[in-house]
Structure 1
Amino acid sequence: MTLKIAVIGLGYFSQFHLRGWLGIENTEIVGVVDLVQERRRTAEELYGVRGFLTRKLLATVDQDIVDIVPPPPTHAALTRAAFRRGRLIVGQKPFCGDLETASTVAAEAAATGTTVVGHENFRFQPWHREIKRLLDRGDMGTPWQCTFLLRPGDGRGAKLTWRANRPFAACLAF
């Protein structure tokens, strides 16, 4: 079975989402949505996906997963627009602007049979997994405060940083 993916929002971080989905077997990006024509064209050319101006994509093309990547003020409304029984919605952080809205949207999603998950890719990075392991083992005691400094990129080499894809990043930056 091939999972059909729709990606809403083609700002800077969408390139990582698009590449991620394209790197998973049995997935197909059936469309992307953005208000900026140049962003849609760039995504169409680089990734071979179909671009849509509005979220009408949700009503006109079948998808199993909707990945919501635009600026945070749009997250609650776009999540609600994507509700459908059996659908998975992946929401870029922050999920909503406040706890009350997030609780309401989560309850509405559950009532419609939609699964909503918050996206935080850094929690799976090796250094965060190691910190979790040390915390779980009790090696670090009880944290009161934590500061974590990170070099640009994801710690896996220069080719995976935004600098490696400047033409795309420049087009998609807000």
Structure 2
Amino acid sequence: MLRIGLLGRGFMATVHALRYAEMEDVEVVGVASPSEPREFATDYTENAAAYDDALALYDAEDLDAIDVCTPTHTHRDLVVPAAERGIDVLCEKPLERTMGDASEMVEAAEDAGVTLVPGHTLRFFPEYATVRDRVREGDVGDPGNARTLRQSPYEERPAWFDDDEKSGGALLDLAIHDVDFLRWTLGPVERVFARRKRWDGNEYALATLRFESGAVGHVDARWPNRSDLPFKTAFEIAGPEGLLEFDSEDVAPIEVRSTTESEPSRDPIDEPLEKDPYRLELEAFVASVRGGEPPITADEGLASLAVALAAVESAERGEPVAPAEVGA
């Protein structure tokens, strides 16, 4: 039986707790949160002990791994002590608020010989994974241009999201989903230019990424403070041989346009999904704890964080910023 410690009690911790409950030979044995951990453990886990402090959880329970679903700026102080105790870690994106803190986490995991998996769940969504495969297989030729959109509306959310020193705003917390997808698909990013606007609890951000390949990506991230707007994602990737598009509001999951004579498949997903992306992500993490390869390496998490932080810095400075410029 794999023994998991779950940190946090918000939306993502709830999602993960429910998925672990569906898995065989995996048990959440402890939950830690500074607020109401006992209520969370009662509602979402079967036999988990509740702790107000994560370090107390580490020392009281015989853990194989922890799952960190807490605010971004808390990750270092939770991950480093776990690594020092020889505990494997799944850490929700982004790894941390700064490169310095994130690098300490990665170094601690390497020194201890434990697995640290960044929680970039988007890689497990079939529309994104399928398009990445098609791009890598040459379906559009050499990609020249990519666009992504992510709109996540809210009216009430924890105060730390509005504290730029803790969350990094939409360019870090929200846009890093698509930054990681584009970097995973198109390769290393050379420089970033970004703009963002905030008003009345809303935030709109746009980042332009220049990839080392010469491709250009446009990342549109929106935090509207409105309940009447939908959660929405979209992307397109274009090259000389065709265009791949996705829009979450379109009834067809993927649209393919090609210069080839054969009729392309409109829906590349052959069978209905038996497991959602969160379940697939957690199963991949569990497999890595049991000795398999990590589905996403800590270094990949660092690379995507550097691009998102370059966007944050670019918006502040009003000029392009290379990911390599982003310091501690």
Preserved CA contact (<8 Å) 2:28 2:45: no
Q: Which runs of 5+ in 1 are unaligned?
A: 161-174
- Could you say which residue in structure 2 is the equivalent of 1:170? none
- Could you say which residue in structure 2 is the equivalent of 1:144? 145
Bigger fraction of residues in helix: 1
Preserved CA contact (<8 Å) 1:85 1:114: no
Moved more, 21-30 or 46-55: 46-55
- Could you say which residue in structure 2 is the equivalent of 1:47? 45
Residue-by-residue CA offset, 1:84-119 (whole Å, 9 max, x unaligned):
465310000011222333223211211122211101
Matched, 1:130 2:130: yes
Matched, 1:36 2:31: no
* Whole-angstrom distance in 1 between the partners of 2:68 and 2:62: 16
Preserved CA contact (<8 Å) 1:30 1:50: yes
Preserved CA contact (<8 Å) 1:88 1:116: yes
Moved more, 48-57 or 71-80: 48-57
Percent sequence identity over aligned pairs: 24
Greater Cα radius of gyration, structure 1 or 2:
2
Preserved CA contact (<8 Å) 2:58 2:82: yes
Give the TM-score of the pair, scaled to structure 2.
0.43
The offset of 1:143, in angstroms, is: 4.6
- Could you say which residue in structure 2 is the equivalent of 1:163? none
- Seen in structure 2, the aligned counterparts of structure 1 residues 20 and 95 have a Cα distance that, compared at 3 Å, is same
* Whole-angstrom distance in 1 between the partners of 2:2 and 2:84: 15
Preserved CA contact (<8 Å) 2:18 2:44: no
The offset of 1:57, in angstroms, is: 0.5
Q: Deviating runs (4+, > 3 A) in structure 1?
A: none
Bigger fraction of residues in strand: 2
Mapping for residues 30-109 of structure 1, pairs under 5 Å = 30-37=29-36, 39-48=37-46, 49-55=48-54, 56-84=56-84, 86-109=86-109
* Whole-angstrom distance in 2 between the partners of 1:12 and 1:53: 18
Preserved CA contact (<8 Å) 1:84 1:113: no
* Whole-angstrom distance in 2 between the partners of 1:59 and 1:17: 22
- Seen in structure 2, the aligned counterparts of structure 1 residues 137 and 19 have a Cα distance that, compared at 3 Å, is same
* Whole-angstrom distance in 2 between the partners of 1:46 and 1:103: 32
- Could you say which residue in structure 2 is the equivalent of 1:168? none
The offset of 1:67, in angstroms, is: 0.4
Letter paired with 1:123: R
- Could you say which residue in structure 1 is the equivalent of 2:16? 17
Residue-pair matches, total: 154
The offset of 1:10, in angstroms, is: 0.8
* Whole-angstrom distance in 2 between the partners of 1:143 and 1:106: 33
Matched, 1:121 2:121: yes
Letter paired with 1:52: Y
* Whole-angstrom distance in 1 between the partners of 2:144 and 2:80: 36
Letter paired with 2:53: T
Preserved CA contact (<8 Å) 1:8 1:66: yes
